[in-house]
Structures are given as C-alpha cells and as structure tokens.
Copies of this chain bind each other. A is one copy, B any other.
Amino acid sequence: MALKTMLKFSRGFRYQSLARTTQSFSTHDQDEGGWNRTRTKSSGNFTQVAGAAVAGVAGFCLYSYLNEPAVSAATKEETTLQAGEVKEGLPFYSLDEVRAHDDNEKRIWVTYKQGVYDITDFIPKHPGGGEKILMAAGASVDPFWASYGVHKNADILKMLETYRIGNLSEEDSKVSLHNVVDPYDSDPRRHPALQPRSLKPYNAETPLKILADNFFTPNDLFFVRNHLPVPEIDLASYEIEIEGVGVKSMKLNLEQLKKFPKYTVTSTVQCSGNRRSEMTKVKPVKGLDWGQAAIGNATWTGVRLRDVLLAAGLKDDQPGVEHVQFEGLDTDPSMHPYGASIPIEKAMDPKGDVLLAFEMNGEPLTRDHGYPVRVIVPGVTGARNVKWLGKVIVSGKESDSHWQQNDYKGFSPSTDWDTVDFSSAPAIQELPVISAICDPVQGDKVKPVDGKIPLRGYAWSGGGRKIVRVDVTWDQGKTWGVAKLEQESNKHPYHWGWTLWTLEVPVPPNAKKLEVWVKAVDSTYNTQPEGFANIWNLRGVLSNAYHRVTIDINTGKK
C-alpha cells in the first residue's frame, strides 16, 4: 500500500497545513485510513476540506509535469540557489501577511524559501488550469517542490522570480523546512549507464548507441518514465482492486492473480515524448528532453486483463462500459494516484494481449518498472501501461487523471498555451510509426570500410502494425536504400514488438561528413512525416519525423 511513501508525503503535506490550514489538517490522521479517506472523498467535513486541498496540491503538482524542463535540473544549480534568497531593497512580510493574500481581490501571494511572490497574473497562464493553483494561495510552495524536484530548474525559477515582490520576515523564515522529507529518498538505485532526463521524478533513457544492440532491451538499461516517487510496496499486503460497471468488486493478491492462465508477450513500450529533443529545436516545447531512446522492447509475462475482467463477471459488449481505468500506487502529495485508461475494445480484445504483467524479460519486475504488477497495453503509448497497479475500474468514462485529460494529446502547430483546449483532442492511445538511427550517433567520427558505413537502428508502429520497410537515404532523398530487418515472425495478426534494422551506406570519396535519414513504413503503409515544423505541438509529443544524423567521416588523412 505504498505506506512509507505516503507517510513522507503526509509529512510534507502537514508542513503546508501548518503554514495555512492548521486546523483542518491537524485532524488528518496520517495513517492508511486517512489515505483511504482522502482518495475516496467519501463523506463529512474533513473529507471536503481534504478534497479541496487535494485539488490545489494536484494543481501545483501538475504544473511541474507540464513544465518539465528541457534541461536537466542538475545542470543549473547556481540559478537554483539564487531564487528564493533575500533580495535587497524589497519589503519584508510575515507569514500572516502572506496568508491574507489568498484570493484574486486581495491578490494571490506565495512563498518560496525566503522569497514572496504575487502570482495573481500567472494563474490564468497556469497550464494545468487556473482554478487548481488557487489552493496554494497565501502559503509556501516549498513542500511541493520538495516532492517535485523537477521544479528546481532555471526556467521555472527564473519565471517565478519575475513575480517577486518581497522577502519573508527573518522570524517566519526560521520556520524550518527540515521536517519536509524527500519522498524520493526511497527510490531504487539505478544503473549508472542510464541517461537521466530528470532526477525527481526519475526519468532516464538507454544510451542510444547500445539501444539497437539487443532485440530485448536489458531490464536495467530499459528507459524509465516515472511521474511520481517509486512506491514501496509490501507484497504481504499488496492487492489489486477490481471494480466498476458490470463487474463484481474483488481484490486479488499476487498469488491469486497468478492463478489465471499465464501469457508472455513481446511488446515495445515507448513514451509519447520520445525524440522530443528534436522537435524542440524547431520551437521550444514543454517536457522532458528525451533523445531517441525513450523506447525499449521486452517480453512481458503476466495474465490477461480480459481473463481477469471475465472472471469478475464482465460481459463482452456490456452496455455502459467504454473504458478501463487503471490507478497506480504511486501518488502525489495529496494521495492522488497516477491514472490512465484504455478503450474497452482494446482491454477486451481476445487478440489485444493487454496483460497484468509481473515479469519483464523473464525476471520479476524491478521497482522502476512497476513491481509487483504493471499493465502492459501492447501497441499503446507508455503512459497507459500503468505501473505499480493498484486498481482497475471498468467505466463509461475515461480516467479523469491529469495525464489522461490534460496531457499526452496532440495539437496543431499553431496551438499554444494561450489557446490550447485539452478537451478538443483525444488522449493518445496507439502511437504513429517511428524510427531512429542508433549507431552511429550524431557527431560520431567513423572510418568507412570499403567505402561504406554500417548503420543500425529501430523502427516501430503502434496498434500492432508491423514494420514492412525501413528506408535510408545518404543523399537527401535522391537515393533510398532498403534496410535489412530483424523482427519477430509469427502468425499473430498484431506485431507488438519493434523491428531492428541495419544498412551499410556508401560514403562518397573524400566526404568529410555524411548526413543520413531514416523513415519506416508500417503495414498500413503509413510512413513518417519529413520534418518537425508541421507536426510541432506544444507538449512535444508524437515527435516522429525522419531521424537525421550527421556523421563525421574519418578519412584517414591528417
């Protein structure tokens, strides 16, 4: 039940309470019952208050995801340290004075470290929705930012400082933050070869150069996409709850889950933001600065969601059922879980292969990949492959989580943060066709052998659409070579795994550089767009234009 993580969040949360709503929150028992009450918002005045606080907390949290920095948090430490420090020449305010500014009429103030900020004018620009941020009014943002280390990057802090109006009084600033516990303290250790894109939450990708070396990506080198701290789960109390329309509510522990027929499926998992770093060069986007390796391929072993839902009494074509929602046991400071949903047709498709998986490449899941059980939704974007599965809800509606409703959607290149209407676009499910050159990587210096350079990479398409061809050009499209493909062959109508490809490309005599492009074609003969400008979108998702790499040629001459 992720109890330890919960308690850490609760402590941070209590600090927030002390600063603003002591009375309400001092009654919030930091035990499992309290956690349950907050999540279910079942009844009573306490719950109401907690529910309201939840909205605000969630608002601030969500802000952090929408503003995932395009640079690693760790790289701009200096700027980070300057923000929130005392600024000469600005007035000093007490916590009470700050607290008095908690609505639009009185202006909305917040504190960060010793800085006081009037964020009233920022609220309408808040990507997660203006109303959500309001619960942070008149108080400190520190405990949230302790949870979301990703906030502490130069861009966000610089933006915050533009709203600076004063300093917190010396006395009140002595209210120490030492009781704010870092909920990421218990995150697992990771392999040092992983390339982090953010540390808290931890997001990292496989070194690109080795990505195409293995048809099955090694577990410890598989990209990690966490939205929240990794929950600490005690197998002894672990259960998956099944509930909703057309099913009899039930709870399954791991042992009970494993009694269903066991299946193993090869499936590629890819983040919607893979290759975002290329799109952001056209015009900045908000999100983790993923290279080309926020993707991996593995075998997943578990039981079929369909079998579990049938056992819970769900019928095919049950009226009123349109989606299956998943909740993770990873939670934000308000105890809101990570959530996502998939269409019922995918969930119940006998050939859809949606698994509640407990093994990855034949080993039990690691904590970063969802131990003890995660959902695998083959052909569908990683965000719906919910890790640390806590709950399955059969419903007429999509998940109302931020990640389903207000993130992971595509928009026109002319849609910006002022005009975006997240309700106008469908949540990403199946992903479009994509490919990348993994080796050599941009800027590698390579010596041709017999006038040729070998390239290798991957190609993949969502929805089980098999890659039927990979085209590579070394002369800006005048000539296209057809790559040799490595892929699983089977009679299954869907092809969930990726395709690795190789091709030797010719190097013109005396060339000092060679620019190579790759594009893939899938079984529907969809192919990739040529460039990023016309598929640009404000979140930098679906970044599947041709991958173009320039190689330095080692001519062997001085």
Contact = CB atoms under 8 A, between A and B. Distances in A.
28 contacts: A345-B351, A410-B468, A410-B525, A412-B471, A412-B481, A413-B471, A413-B480, A425-B469, A428-B525, A429-B524, A430-B524, A430-B525, A431-B524, A431-B525, A433-B526, A463-B524, A471-B534, A477-B534, A480-B534, A519-B534, A524-B526, A525-B542, A526-B526, A527-B529, A527-B535, A530-B530, A530-B531, A530-B534
A414 B480 contact: yes
Interface residues of A, number: 46
Interface in A348-391: 351
A481 to B, nearest CB: 7
A426 B345 contact: no
A345 B473 CA distance: 35
A182 interface: no
B523 A479 contact: no
Given A471-B534, A524-B526, A526-B526, 16 more contacts: A343-B493, A345-B493, A410-B468, A410-B525, A411-B469, A412-B480, A414-B481, A415-B482, A425-B469, A429-B524, A431-B524, A432-B526, A473-B534, A477-B533, A528-B529, A529-B530
A283 to B, nearest CB: 12
Contacts of A189: none
Contacts of A482: 412, 414-415
A533 B530 CA distance: 11
A462 interface: yes
Interface string A445-486: 000000000000000001100001101010001011110000
A527 B531 CA distance: 12
Contacts of A345: 351, 493
Contacts of A533: 477
A322 interface: yes
Interface string A483-495: 0000000010100
A303 interface: no
Interface in A399-439: 410-415, 425-426, 428-433
Nearest to A534: B477
Contacts of A524: 429-432, 462-463, 526
A521 interface: yes
Contacts of A469: 410-412, 425
Residue from A322, A473, A525, A533 whose CB has the most chain B CB atoms within 10 Å? A525
Contacts of A542: 525
Nearest to A546: B534
A284 to B, nearest CB: 17
Listed from nearest, the 9 A-B pairs whose CB atoms lie closest are: A345-B493, A432-B526, A430-B524, A526-B526, A414-B480, A530-B530, A525-B542, A412-B480, A432-B525
A497 B121 CA distance: 45
Contacts of A351: 345
A469 to B, nearest CB: 7
Contacts of A432: 524-527
